[in-house]
């Protein structure tokens, strides 16, 4: 797993981190927008936006499995192969929660316009994704998870009513 790269005068050196098996799972994926101060070029700010990550897919799979077990074992008598349609429905619900969360967080994720240290304008220098993932949970991940739970509870209440 690539940790960091530094450029010396002659060559490009990259460090790798060994997998130790303890706490190295990176469940969250983000798109990072980098902003830099126009006056000093030293002050910078990174704005993280959540993406569909393994954590969200695992949560949707567990919710689909629970709903499938309820529907198979109850008096409705659904066949076993409805697990796949329920999983697709849960992933659709997760996508809808992500769209709703991005609309709700659009104001806070738009970046920054003024440097907090010197007051100069800041410019967007680029966006990038972190394919290696992150162990850190950001506000977008929490918003998607909470909205997904609320929407899923609405589905459960509609089924049980």
Across the chain, which has 161 residues, the per-10-residue mean pLDDT values are: 46 47 67 82 76 87 88 80 90 92 76 76 82 78 90 85 77
- Kindly state the helix (H) or strand (E) to which residue 34 belongs, with its residue range: strand 30-37
Start-to-end CA span in the chain (Å): 49
How far, in Å, CA of 49 to CA of 109, rounded?
Answer: 7
| Residue whose C-alpha is closest to residue 55's, from 94, 100, 2 | 94
Q: In this predicted structure, what is the pLDDT of residue 43?
A: 72
Q: In this predicted structure, what is the pLDDT of residue 110?
A: 61
Q: In this predicted structure, what is the pLDDT of residue 12?
A: 45
């Amino acid at each position: 797993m690539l940790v960091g790269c530094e450029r010396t005068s002659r060559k490009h050196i990259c460090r790798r981190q060994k997998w130790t098996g303890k706490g190295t799972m990176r469940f969250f994926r983000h798109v990072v927008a980098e902003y830099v101060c126009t006056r000093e070029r030293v002050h910078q700010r990174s704005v993280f936006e959540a993406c569909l990550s393994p954590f969200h897919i695992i949560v949707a799979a567990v919710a689909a499995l629970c709903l499938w077990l309820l529907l198979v074992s109850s008096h409705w008598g659904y066949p076993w192969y409805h697990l796949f349609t329920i999983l697709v429905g849960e992933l659709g619900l997760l996508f809808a929660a992500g769209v709703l969360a991005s609309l709700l967080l659009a104001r806070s994720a738009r970046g920054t316009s003024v440097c907090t240290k010197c007051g100069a304008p800041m410019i967007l220098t680029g966006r990038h994704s972190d394919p290696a993932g992150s162990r850190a949970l950001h506000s977008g991940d929490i918003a998607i998870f909470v909205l997904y739970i609320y929407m899923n509870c609405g589905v459960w209440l509609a089924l049980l009513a």
